[in-house]
Every structure is written in C-alpha cells, then in structure tokens.
Chain A
C-alpha cells in the first residue's frame, strides 16, 4: 500500500532506533507524551516500544476523544436513542463505552435503534431514506472530525433535512494539552503532536508549548516509522538544547492547517464555555456546540436530555492514566475487575485507549519472550 508500507520497514526502524539510543545522555531518562490515541494504537500494534532504548519512555496522553466523554453524556445519548422514532447513528468506537446504565450495545439489545456508521454522510443518507424518523448523529472526535460533522450539517441545512441532527461532543486538543502542562504531577520532556488534528489546525497552535513551557513538540504521522522519526527529532532537540515545533508529518500536515475546514467548524459550531472531560475535570473553552444558526440540527436543543453528571466508579483511575501519571498496569483494577469484556473506564473500552492498547497488544512479559525466543 503506497504511502503506508514504506513507513513500516523494519530495517529502517533499527537504524533510527540506534540513532535515538545515540542521543540518550547516560543516566538520564526521557518522557515523551504522545497526545493522540492513534499514536498509542500504532505503538502497541506494531510493537514499537521494542525498538526504543530503555531510557526513552512514551507516555500516553488524553488524545482519545472517546475516552474523555463523561458517563453522563453517554447516558444523554442513550436517552435520545430511547425515543421511539429516533435512529441514533455513531462511529463504532462508541458502541461499547459504558455509561451509568450500560453502553450503546446494551441499549441496542434493549430495543433502541442504534446504527454504526463510518461517516456522518452515512447518517445523512439514512435521514434522507427515512423521512418519518428522526436521525441523530453522535459527533465525537477532536478537530480532525469536527469539520466533517460541520460539512454534513451544512449539507443537511441546504437540503432542508429537518429530521437530521447532531449530538455534538467534539472536543479540542489545545485545552487538553494545556491541562496536561498545568498538571503538577507530571514530568514530561516533550510531545509527539497529533498528526491528523494538525491537518486541520496546523502547527502554529502548538508554539506556546515550546515558547512558554520550553518543551519540544514534533507533529507526528501514524505509521511506525513516522512515530520513530518524530521521537528521534524530539530527542535531537533535547540533545541540542532546543525547544521548537517541528513537523515530521509534512507530507500531510500543512503548517497553516486547512482554512476551509476551520471555516466550516467556525460557521457551524462555537466553543462551549466549559465541558467536563472524563479524568481531566472541567476545562473551559475546550469543546464545541452547535451555533444558534443551526439550532434546528442541534440534538441538545431538540431533545430533553437528563444532563446528569455521573461520577466515575470509585475504582476507576482513568484520569491518571489519561494524564500519563499512571501506566495502565499500575491501575489497581487493570486486568482483573477492568478488562475489555468488563470495562470500568473508557481507557479500556476504546481501542486506542492506553489500557485497551496495552491489554490487547502489549501485555506480556517481554523478558520471558526474549528468553525463550533465543535460537
């Protein structure tokens, strides 16, 4: 596959890994946060950590927009889906996220019409095909996905599709990164920036990280060599005492982002004064809602939502995992009470959540494997 396979070459990985090792100061450890859930997934799926020297640690951050949705919002979505004429549409990622009373999959089993889609345009298609039903699209994701939702809403408005609305749960990456930087528990040396969010917002918004916090940020692609190269560039900055924003993913990320996409978001959505992020608490101006001009396509205005704030289960330590303070296996309930079959928190449910990624891909004793691997 072009533009994919070239970035999965094991030989080049070894070479890069050697260079990274060469940049490590003896006795020093390095903690780089990869903000984006897609990076977490890549790292585990390709076994990337096997290539990194022990001194370099990749910390998983809160860039999993499914993981940060509070349980109360899942309950709100299920309440909408429970209305008899509603068809709730959602990406697959959401189907098993537990709310206060079960997940979308459980609600579906109890009779709600919840359908999985691959694009908001699929939801629009359903709305056209079923004019007597109200079709709601659960909009989740960072700035990568918000433009697609926005364009779909614009299309719905242009076609006068009154039965289509969006339950907007789009969140913004910069406030999440700020929350991390402001957190006292964290020691980080640098960041791997979210590659696909950056196709929309560009690289400029990260400049404050380098300028005000003195940490390098390298915007990284999602193939394993992209991630490794980004680690190398970050380590090189650290070795040379620099703190800058660099763009490893320049083949896809324009420095100034995508103006059409940004305008689409701006036309249809506006920042909420505040939004609760599971694990990170309430963050101001960190999420998007529909503008008044598109009220007729705003599910929050159309439907009566319980709007109840549901506290996370006491045992759940997702917040600390999302901030990178705890490693997945350090959570007290990891692997016993909280597993992919019986997830307590979102970090275990979402396929890119740190806990799920570690449980599904990374969880085995590398040492024993190496011992028994030797010819």
Chain B
C-alpha cells in the first residue's frame, strides 16, 4: 500500500508553482493564429445588411444592385437559406415556464433589434461585400419598439412576439423561511433600489468564424473563436442537418471571450448555411459596430431589495424583486434565464439568515440579446447583498467588517444549505476577510480616511464578500436538455521520445488552461513539464468536453488530467516492471525516469521505455502489450456546483467638486481551493476585478427610447484604461474541494463578480459624510454630482 503523501505535495510538484505560460511566446512575437489570420483557397467573405430599426416589419427587400457588383458571389435573404438551416428556440427544460420565439439566422419577415441581420452578402473580399451590403434596399413598416423593462409587461405595451402571448420570458421566485415575520420583528430594516447597467464584453478580437464545407465528403470544418468547440459542433450539425461526426471545430488562439463567444449567433449560423450553399470556405469577422450591436449584452437589471436585522446586528432576512430586460429572444442554447437563477442562488450567499424571498422576472425588449457574460448574475447578487450589509452596518452603527464576520455562516455549519437551496461544501469567509483586513491595514486606512476628510479629501473603503459558482455538474445545463457537456476529458500519450502529448476538452483563451493542464500532468505522471505538450480546441483531436464556462477549466479539466496522469503512470510502471523484471510497487516515475521507489535510483528513462514499447515489441513477453495512451474523464457529481469564496476591498477617492472617482488600491483574498498556479490565479483575479470595475464606473450600452444603441464604438463606449486602474493585491486561502483528488475550484469570474459591489460600497463610504447613497451603475461623475445636489 502506498502510504506516501500525495504527489501534489512533493517538493518536485509543479502544482502550486507560478510556471510561465509556454504558449505566450508566440503571442508576444505576433505569431498567434486567430481566425482572421487564416486564409483558405477560394474563400469568400461575408458582410450583412442589418436592421436600422429596433422593431419593424419588412415589406420588401431589393438585392438587385448588390448582386450586380463585380466580386459578389451570393446574396441571401432568409427565404434563400430556409432549405439549408432550421431555426432554434432558447429554452431549457429545467427553467420552468421559460419561453422564447423561433429564431432564424436572418430576419424572417420582421426585425426585432437594431443590428439584426437581414441580408447576407458573400464576396471575394470583405470590402466588396460591404459595398454590396450598402446597396441593399429594404422597405420597412416601423413597429412600436418595447424598450422599457419596467413597462414591458403592461397591458398597453405591444407584445414583441404575438405567438408568445406576452413579453414575459421567464419568472422564478423563492420564498424560504418566514420573511414577513422576520421583517415585522426586525430591529433594523434597510432597503434600496438598484439599477444595473447593460454592458458587453468588448473582446479585443471580435467574433470570428470560417466555415469550410467540402461537398464531396459532406464535411464541414469550422475555424472559430469560441469557448466551447464541442457545443458549436453539435449546434451547427443539428441546424444544418449534418451528421455530428461530419462537423469539426478548430479553435486556435482566441482574442478574449469572457462569455461572449459561447452563444449561438445569427450571423455565424448564416455563414454555415452559406458555406453549404456555396461549397467553398466562408469567412465572417464581426467589425466593431457589429460587435457592439450583436455580441450578447449583459446585466440589465432593476432591483429593489431590503434586509432585516435584529438589534444585535444579526441578519434575519433578505427580500428582493429583480427585473431583467433581455433582448427579443432568449439566447440559444444557454437561455437568458440562467442569470436570474444565479441571482436567486447567490444573493446574501455568505450569510446565515434563514428567511429569503426573491421575485424575479425576465422580460423581452427590442434591444440586442442578453445572455451569460463573465460572472453571470454574481455582480448583481453580490452588489445587492453587500450594499444591504453596508447599509445595515451604518444603521446599526457597527463596523462593516465586524458585521460581516458576525453574520458569516459559522465554520462548523458546513456543508450548508442556503435558504435558496444552494449547497456549500466548505467556505472560508472568516479566514479570507481576516486576511484581507490584515493585508490592507484596515485600521490604518480608517484613521487615514478620518484625517483626509479633515483636509476635504473624501476617501472611501468598500468591502465585498462573495461566493462564486464553479465546477458545475450536469445540473447547470445538461438536465435542461442542452447538449453542453459538464464532464471533461484528458487523453495522454507517451511518445517514443519519452515526451507526453496531452489533449483536453477544456479550452484556452489566454487564462492559462494549457499551462495548468501541463502542470497537473507533469506532477501526476512524474515528468518534466517541458516534455508535456498540451493540445486544445480541435474537436477531432481532443476528448469530448464542455470547454470554458462557469469557471470549470482547472477544477473539471484539471481533475481529468490528474486522473489521466495517474492512469498512464500505472501503465508505464506495468511495462517498466516487465522490462526491469521488478515489482511494480518498487518502482516510481520521477523527472521523466522510472526509478526505484525507495531511494530514487534511476532505472530506465521514459525515452528508452518508449523505444522498446513502440519499436522493439519483439523483446517483450508475448502477453505484454504496452498501453501508453490513456483517457480519463471527470464529472463533478457531488453538488450542482462547487462554490468558491473571496473577500474584496476597494480604496478610492471621490472628488466632490468634479464627481470623479480615483481608484487608489484594490485587495482580494481568494479561495479557489487548491491553487495550481498562483500567478495565473492572481492574474485571473486582477483581470476579473478590472472587468468588474468597468461597469461600476464606465461601461454602459446606451439606448434611446426607440431602441437605438448610441455608443457603439470604442470611442464612445468607455472601458477601463491603464491610467485609471489601481494596483490590485491578491492573497490566497486554500480550501481544496473534496469533490476531487486535485481539489481545485474555479477562479475565472470571482474578480468580476465582486468588484462592482466593492466599488459601490467604497463610493458610498466616501460620500457618507454627505448622507448620500448611490446604487445606480455606472457611477459617472454626473450621477455623483447629482447625488451631492451639485447639479
């Protein structure tokens, strides 16, 4: 019996070390391969004529002038593609009552948002295709657009899709404990209303696809900038009527995704249909305006919420109403209802209250579609819950840190079922917040804040404690009928040289997936990390898996890689024992060599073992067949998801004369279970925090009442830039999950999840001398000055 400690804890383990990313080298040399870098013979380029209206009936479409332009290969309306592609509906069986209308790749008689594609033009260059798109003449009958989520369900509001009966997409509530009694008996009640702004991902590389259909084989190869290659393979096959095994998705470098590149987009599906029509490669690269008006938007919520406390400061209850205004469709296949589910699951998540009520509604609007973006529901839930905690602390005259520590779920109560029904395996809220307060020198900052106020400088300190959904099981999508894998796999091959090729279904968008998989494999198998080559993103090459979503790469993909490493090690040692005429239990693999388990004497290099296995099988006993390729899969089945937790703090100054916010510093203590690569965890956290600061201070998709997006350019839509961002200090607490041997949880979204709350709380702390409380994001200078009564 092997009584040694886990290989993860050995000094030569790569797990826990900040190994640099081997794939970064090509990117700093400009030698990456993004989809637009790929040129194929006879490839045509797509451009779209898109609706200028948010809601209109199409009376006629005249494509004659467009067709006449030299270089135009094909012009397509929906009628031209109906024999090639089927429509889709963005619902899931486990979201009870969710409804949406049939969606086609091109407008089918009506348009429902500004930017919806109506006509697709294929031409020998993008420039010619755009010239032709300008020549399309469409006759519209304008219809009244529905653009206000608060009146979308009113009787006199037009119904966007008459066949659905009303504009309600999804509704869900929870009513746990006795909320009314808790509020009646409360010593302190706080409440506020919130506005969460519609924003979007702004990936540096826009959505990109090449569809290469070869009629002779009936095979479709998709070069995509995407997070979930297998999901895309399934969807294109299903809606283009192809066998799934005739569709291959190749995803090389991805220039940012953040949840944007995980959904079904009309223009990309149209590209697939047109490739089938033409029998030649079709490329579509969204331009920046197309990105702003058709990449999914996120987080348009209006919330009212209240919390009840007893006189000692114990949180008794949370009660909230949430309305989300999505686009004219629930997005396929993940739906636009999942975010409400997350808000319900997560609000007040760190705390011990037992009374909880949410009434949530998701309504259709004539704006761009809205769906899951980094953090999915977390920023709303955390901002609401943490704002209520700050208001509570203020009214109770307690320190906000003390109030949180007092109300966290007691450490001995885990595993814990929340009043929303979520199950937490184990959290470390107290430990994270204690560490955070120490890292930031909380007491010192409070006294500095006091003295600065005397000088007229209004500094604020804001906190956010949070939980994050990671490592999802099939409960997330699979049970709802979506073909989105929650399991993932890793195949390892010992090559004749002694190197290892690892292929995995989890994917890389720059977060470092390939690096951590290499770390885990090298550790589990006992080989130098330089000898492990990781391949991702090609459905023809990798095991069937879910890719990147819900912070699952390290936790799910990592565990599959760990188990694959163990299995390959066993097979290698089986063979080594035969070659060396030794007992398996007396052997181990360290540093790429088979060694004596006791003492570590080198017995056989893996290169030599590979040589014998692959080329000199004649020297082995007749019943010894080396098996040097193994695959292992992992499904997290113990819980619907494995929750992580973190504590954030933001330090900023509000200039009460200009309304400008100057971020000074930001701290995060993150518990994502076992940390595979501290540097990459810190960088995911930093990037995530900045992506959460964006919508708190700058980012908003601005629409007119007519449904026109008025800031669809990078000059008009503001994102965080380097000069405005603070340094972000990251600390780690490690509570490995017992759901897997590796013990890793996810970390990709926690930064984005917590930052809006921490920034909001810091602004309100800064403005506390003026008794001003703001909860309408983004906190732009004009809103701050208005709050202060200065304008």
- Decide if A and B are genuine partners: no
Residues of B with Cβ closer than 8 Å to A?
none
